[in-house]
């Protein structure tokens, strides 16, 4: 597993928490003796078994603490961080948030989130093209999200690789913007297939781009007929209320005895 995220090996994945240092390392050693009989061994194991186990472990932790974990995925530049900045500012005092930021390099996004007064940890994947459950596990250990809070996990900007890796999230939210092609759901179907909500961002730019809103919705529904769709603009605020209503509807009210 460590080979997947590189966490032990050469320190390629790093975590940054404003005002906090966190280090960990653990090695693997295998000793074995040899006995040379040819043998067929049934394995029957999913390749992502280890990731999926850790994802379930994360999910169990989130469920126990009533944390709503959302995995935000998109191509680079579709406005994930802007959506978070806006959401964290507008809903301050109504919901409690914390954020895990995933990028190959820099703490720029974590710094932007930190500026809103929200608890944030940055994962730098080095050359890695996606977050996995192991990285999120370590990030959660560092950030310790509060009970009954919302945890946003902003994945690496990439519409391909993150689709395969369950992080233990409750919902996966795919974001596209109107400056991208309206055939994007067909070109990158796996991400739309595995998501539950699609946000179409930057609707304020619709008059300037050849983006067919109806066509993108039809294309997205072709790939995933259960997908919910919300159109919004983080710049002029149009449609944000629908996103906030969706978010609030997903936050479970803790049961009182």
Partner 1 sequence: MHELSIVLSIIDIAQQQAIKEDAAVIEEIEIDIGCLSTVEMNAFDFAWQQAVKETMLEKAERKINRINGKARCSGCEVFFPLKNLYDACPKCGEHLIDIVEGKELRVRSLIVS
In the complex, the residues that contact partner 1 under the rule CB under 8 A are 1, 3-4, 30, 32-51, 128-130, 132, 160-161, 163-165, 185-186, 189-190, 192-193, 219, 221-225
Of residues 26 and 45, the one with the C-beta less far from partner 1: 45
Q: In what order do the strands lie in the sheet with 150-154?
A: 14-16, 119-124, 97-103, 150-154, 68-74, 171-177, 197-201, 228-231
Structure tokens belonging to residue 155: 């994945």
> What is the closest distance, in whole angstroms, from the C-beta atom of residue 64 to partner 1 in the complex?
27
Cβ nearer to partner 1, comparing 193 with 244:
193
Question: Which region holds residue 121: left if phi is over 0, alpha if psi is between -120 and 50, else beta?
Answer: beta
Nearest to 229 by CA among 212, 246, 208: 246
Kindly tell me which of 75 and 219 has the beta carbon lying closer to partner 1: 219
Q: Residues 198, 98, 148, CA angle at the centre, nearest 5°?
A: 90
Nearer to partner 1 by C-beta: 47 or 64?
A: 47
Residues 6+ apart with CB under 8 A from 168: 54, 55, 56, 57, 58, 59, 61, 62, 69, 133, 136
Could you tell me the smallest distance in angstroms from the CB atom of residue 170 to partner 1?
Answer: 21
Shortest Å distance, C-beta 128 to partner 1: 8
Using the minimum distance from each CB to partner 1, give the nearer residue, 53 or 213: 53
In the complex, least distance from residue 153 CB atom to partner 1, rounded to whole angstroms: 17
Cα–Cα distance, 152 to 173 (Å, whole number): 10
C-alpha to C-alpha distance for 122 and 153, rounded to whole angstroms: 10
Contact present, 227 and 197 (Cβ < 8 Å): yes
Minimum distance from CB of 211 to partner 1 (Å)?
A: 19
Contacts of 146 (CB under 8 A, 6+ apart): 65, 67, 96, 98
Q: Provide the minimum distance between the beta carbon of 37 and partner 1 in the complex, in angstroms, as a whole number.
A: 6
For residues 35 and 255, which CB has a smaller minimum distance to partner 1 in the complex? 35
Kindly state the smallest distance separating residue 185's Cβ from partner 1, in Å. 8
Closer Cβ to partner 1, 6 or 145, answer by number: 6
Neighbours of 154 (CB within 10 A): 27
């Amino acid at each position: 597993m460590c080979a997947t995220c590189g966490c032990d090996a050469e320190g390629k994945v790093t975590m940054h928490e404003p005002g906090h240092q966190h280090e960990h390392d653990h090695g693997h050693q295998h000793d074995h003796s040899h006995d040379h009989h040819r043998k067929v061994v049934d394995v029957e194991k999913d390749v992502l078994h280890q990731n999926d186990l850790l994802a379930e472990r994360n999910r169990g932790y989130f469920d126990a603490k009533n944390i709503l974990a959302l995995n935000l995925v998109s191509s680079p530049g579709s406005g994930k961080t802007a959506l978070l900045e806006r959401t964290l500012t507008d809903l301050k005092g109504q919901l409690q948030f914390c954020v895990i930021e995933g990028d190959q390099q820099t703490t720029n996004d974590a710094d932007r989130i930190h500026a809103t007064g929200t608890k944030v940890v940055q994962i730098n994947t080095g050359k890695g093209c996606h977050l996995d459950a192991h990285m999120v596990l370590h990030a959660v250990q560092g950030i310790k999200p509060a009970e009954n809070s919302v945890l946003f996990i902003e994945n690496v900007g990439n519409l391909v690789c993150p689709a395969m890796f369950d992080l233990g999230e409750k919902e996966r939210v795919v974001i596209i913007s109107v400056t991208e092609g309206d055939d994007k759901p067909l070109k990158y179907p796996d991400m739309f297939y595995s998501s539950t909500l699609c946000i179409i961002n930057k609707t304020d730019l619709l008059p300037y781009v050849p983006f067919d809103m109806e066509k993108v919705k039809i294309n997205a529904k072709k790939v995933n007929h259960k997908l919910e769709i919300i159109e919004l603009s983080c710049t002029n605020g149009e449609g944000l209320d629908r996103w906030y209503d969706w978010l609030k509807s997903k936050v479970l009210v803790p049961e009182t005895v």
